[in-house]
Structure 1
Amino acid sequence: MDKYSNLKEQPTVVHFVESARTFCRLVETDAPESDLWMLQILVAVADLYAAAHHLPVPDLDSARIDPEDRFDLTPSEYREVFLRLGRRLGENRYYPYCFDSTDLSPNQPPPGIGDLADDLADIYRDIKPGLRAWDANIADFVSDIIFEWKEPLFRTHWGRHAVDVLRVLHSLVYK
């Protein structure tokens, strides 16, 4: 068994892929705004966020192949997802946003307006290309897919969106 097959079969990786599929399926499904959908997406984002913490950080070969570009969402695919989420969220779409909740200095910018449709669509945009590459079943991509999900995308982008989604949807679901 080669190192890629072994990595692909690790329970933490399998769990993340299953969580990612559940999240993407909920985003892709046309369903009216509902309390049930908000609860389902809240649970899916919580599971995805928790699963990302357990992903391994694979050793990358020096000659990396970045599968993400090949499997990226097109601008029209992203727009379709963003608009669908906006319709589904309806009046629950926008929320007050604090730029850095750890910064108590008076120099912090004033609070702004967050957008759940943007948050969820950005998580989807960061997760879906890896699933597409994963489903292509190209062994050379496995380490890179997992690395992209864990390191740059989770740490600096979709993980932050997930935290905002969790905070807001928790308040909406359990009001």
Structure 2
Amino acid sequence: MCRSRASLMADHLQLATDFAHAANRFVDLISNPADSPDTFSLRLLESLTQLYCAALSLPDAADVDPDLDFHRSTDDEWRTVYQNVANAFGERVHYWLTYDPIYPRDGSGDVVCGSLADDCADIHRDIIGP
């Protein structure tokens, strides 16, 4: 059965709307993280999972108008988000992982420190634009 263009566009609009809602929930959460670190981390995990699932469901970007004027994130906005998340996590804002982009088979990857505040501020910037 062949679907009409109008039906397909309605589905695409719903998927884009679902993503926009997930993105707005994430931005609201990291803009005002008023919970305890434990509660905030659970809410952040849920929000990121929903955002990721919504992003995977988005249609091909070929239909997006390249002339749309998107809001651009400023460095001050990035710093504000970074500080909000850093304050919410306190001393638990950092994590350690073994990192090597080639994934060596001998297990010799470098141990690096990451920052949840930096990660969230970067995701925020990816959502609302550089």
Normalising by structure 2, report the TM-score: 0.78
State how far apart, in whole Å, the 1-side matches of 2:117 and 2:27 are. Answer: 14
Q: 1:119 to 1:59 in 2, by over 3 A?
A: same
Q: 1 or 2, which has the higher helix percentage? A: 1
CA distance in 2, matches of 1:49, 1:98: 23
The whole-number CA distance in structure 1 between the counterparts of 2:105 and 2:16 is: 39
Q: In the alignment, which residue of structure 2 is the partner of 1:17? A: 20
Among 67, 70, 76, the residue aligned to 2:69: 67
Percent of pairs with identical residues? 27
Contact 1:94 1:113 in 2 (8 A): yes
Structure 1 stretches of 4+ moved >3 Å? 6-9, 105-109
**Which one-letter code corresponds to 1:28 in the other structure?**
S
> Which stretches in structure 2 are left out of the alignment for 5+ residues?
none
Q: Offset of 1:30 from its aligned partner?
A: 4.5
CA RMSD of aligned residues (A): 2.9
Give the structure with the higher percent strand.
Answer: 2
In the other structure, the counterpart of 2:89 is 89
What SS is found at the alignment partner of 2:113?
strand
Q: Tell me the amino acid that sits aligned with residue 61 of structure 2.
A: P
SS in structure 2 of the partner of residue 23 of structure 1: helix
Change (3 A) 1:14 1:101: same
Q: What is the count of residue pairs matched by the alignment?
A: 124
SS in 1 for 2:110: coil
| Structure 2 counterpart of 1:159 | none
1:66 Cα deviation (Å)? 5.8
Equivalences for 1:3-152 in 2 at 5 Å? Answer: 6=9, 10-60=13-63, 64-65=66-67, 67-68=69-70, 71-100=71-100, 103-106=103-106, 109-129=109-129
Q: Any unmatched runs of 5+ in structure 1?
A: 131-175
Preserved CA contact (<8 Å) 1:94 1:114 = yes
Offset at residue 125 of structure 1 (A): 0.8
Conserved 8 A contact 1:8-1:14: no
